[in-house]
Amino acid sequence: MTIPVLHDFPLDPRCYSVRLAASVLGYEHRIEPVDVIPGGAHLTGRYRELTPSGVLPVLETGTAVLVGTMAVLEHLAAGTDWAPTTPEWLTFASGPLEHVYACRDTALYTTDAVDTRAALTVLQTLDDHLALHADHDWFTADRPTVADLALYPAAALSRDIGIDHDTFPALRRWMRQVKHLPGFVEMPGIPVFP
Amino acid sequence: MTVWLPVALGRDIEPGAATGTTVDGSSVALWRDAGGTLHAWADRCPHRGMRLSFGFVRDDRLVCLYHGWQFDGDGACRHVPAHPRMEPPGSVRPTRYRAFERGGLVWVSSADPADDTELSRIPSVATPVRSVWIREGREQVVDRLRSFTEDFQDKGTVAVGILDGTAILAGIQVVDAQTTALHLIAPGAVPDDTVRALVRRIHDIRESATAFAPVVAS
């Protein structure tokens, strides 16, 4: 049997949520690191065919090629307890959450000033949702789903754009729970300690 | 005069957690050890000045994220990973504040000894609701809360009143000249539905002050 291949840029939060999900779900795979920065390898060679838009991560299952975080997460979770009970937080992760990642990319890879207002609103929206649904420990259910793992990197890396966790108590609590999931793995910028 | 300042809801700092706050303009690390005791220390590792609130808790010790120095509940340095056989000197000790929990609120005082009579007026049994941070000065936030609340009384570090028919008490924390935190509790045992309605309401009050940038898909 072919072992699925995950094409991955280690510093990218979108790739990280998939690495995290694959680990937590116990999905057997092999990681193929891609030199996105500074190499630009995702725009060359066989990636021009695999992911013409340059989007990572890409999962080659042996029978299918899945491009982008949400496609891979939905594939991993399909038919398991990790499938979200409602779609809106995966949608949120592929939409507004990009404000946080765009700010982080600007902060890490350019010398431009970073406008974090939209990113702050995004994190406040997450914190407010958890606070309003305190009867649920997780975003879409009383159990963790891939929606939690899709949202987690933006919250956990917010200090990279100067947004601390001090004013997001519900988010803090949830982030600690994510870190306690069996199979949790870290990425650069997210210490493994809870 | 000694003032106890409300800085958090106790339930928001669970055992093993650390976070940062501000007391009298100084950065303070709040952390709760595995045994449930809450600690408030100057948010600065005595070694290299790293924020201790970035650190992590191991049993009864707070561990600095930077070089792993471990401090026990009394602030004594107990372990330096780079020199595992060294006895850490007793002078290596973060500044500690007095911390106290009552009514579901965490109170911190920078004075020693602090006067407890003010705290005795806080209800001992209360339901935690929600902390919000509002980008306005204290007077504006108090006026805002007053406009939403009946029988409103500003008592200094707390305000009390009736919000949507439920008695509330808000701990008022001046974070800086432009930021005020409200730590909301409801005296007594309050049903979950009522708490959720109050959470929504305090969010509304915060939103009424803050011109948030619209969230749109990029």
- Considering the domain architecture, whether residues B14 and B100 belong to the same structural domain is answered as yes
Which among B9, B133, B213 has the least Cβ separation from residue A167?
B133
- Considering the domain architecture, whether residues B103 and B9 belong to the same structural domain is answered as yes
Confidence of residue B213 (pLDDT cuts 50, 70, 90): very low
Distances (CA, A) of A127 to A121, A122, A133: 10, 9, 10
Closest-CA distance, B138 to chain A, in angstroms, reads 17
B109, B138, B157 — which closes off a domain? B109
Share of chain A above pLDDT 70, in %: 99
Chain B CB contacts of A88 below 8 Å: none
Cα separation, B187 vs B120, whole angstroms: 14
Angle at A83 between CA A82 and CA A89, to 5 degrees: 110
Chain B CB contacts of A168 below 8 Å: none
Delineate the domains of chain A, giving CATH numbers in brackets: 5-77 (3.40.30.10), 88-179 (1.20.1050.10)
For the stretch B94-106, pLDDT in tens is: 999 999 999 999 9
**Total structural domains within chain B:** 2
Distances (CA, A) of B84 to A65, A191, B48, B79, B95: 50, 22, 18, 7, 24
* pLDDT at residue B211, as a whole number: 58
Chain A CB contacts of B17 below 8 Å: 172-173, 176
Chain A CB contacts of B190 below 8 Å: none
- Considering the domain architecture, whether residues B76 and B163 belong to the same structural domain is answered as no
| Residue B217 reports pLDDT greater than 50 | no
pLDDT, chain B, mean: 92
B139 inside domain:
yes
* pLDDT at residue B89, as a whole number: 86
- Considering the domain architecture, whether residues B40 and B92 belong to the same structural domain is answered as yes
Whether omega before B6 lies within 30 degrees of 0, making that bond cis, reads no
B218 inside domain:
no
B62, B77, B109 — which closes off a domain? B109
CATH number at residue B58: 2.102.10.10
pLDDT, chain A, mean: 94
More confident residue, B88 or B116: B88
> In this structure, are residues B103 and B122 in contact, taking their beta carbons and an 8 Å threshold?
yes
Chain A CB contacts of B217 below 8 Å: 95-96, 98
Q: In which residue are the tokens 């909301």 written? A: B184
Can you name the residues that pair with B101 across neighbouring β-strands? Answer: B106
- Considering the domain architecture, whether residues B196 and B168 belong to the same structural domain is answered as yes
Indicate yes or no: CB of A194 within 8 angstroms of CB of B56: yes
Phi/psi of residue A57, nearest 5 degrees = -80, 165
Residue range of the domain that includes B189 = 123-209
Nearest chain A residue to B29, by CA: A166
Distances (CA, A) of B132 to A169, A193, B129, B155, B205: 9, 27, 10, 19, 9
For the stretch A60-110, pLDDT in tens is: 999 999 999 999 999 999 999 999 999 999 999 999 999 999 999 999 999
B117 inside domain:
no
* pLDDT at residue B113, as a whole number: 67
Confidence of residue B117 (pLDDT cuts 50, 70, 90): confident
For the stretch B24-83, pLDDT in tens is: 999 999 999 999 999 999 999 999 999 999 999 998 999 999 999 999 999 999 999 999
- Considering the domain architecture, whether residues B105 and B127 belong to the same structural domain is answered as no
Indicate yes or no: CB of B9 within 8 angstroms of CB of A98: no
Indicate yes or no: CB of B19 within 8 angstroms of CB of A132: no
| Residue B114 reports pLDDT greater than 90 | no
- Considering the domain architecture, whether residues B156 and B180 belong to the same structural domain is answered as yes
Cα separation, B19 vs B55, whole angstroms: 9
* pLDDT at residue B134, as a whole number: 96
* pLDDT at residue B214, as a whole number: 47
- Considering the domain architecture, whether residues B74 and B43 belong to the same structural domain is answered as yes
Indicate yes or no: CB of B212 within 8 angstroms of CB of A191: no
- Considering the domain architecture, whether residues B57 and B139 belong to the same structural domain is answered as no
| Residue A33 reports pLDDT greater than 50 | yes
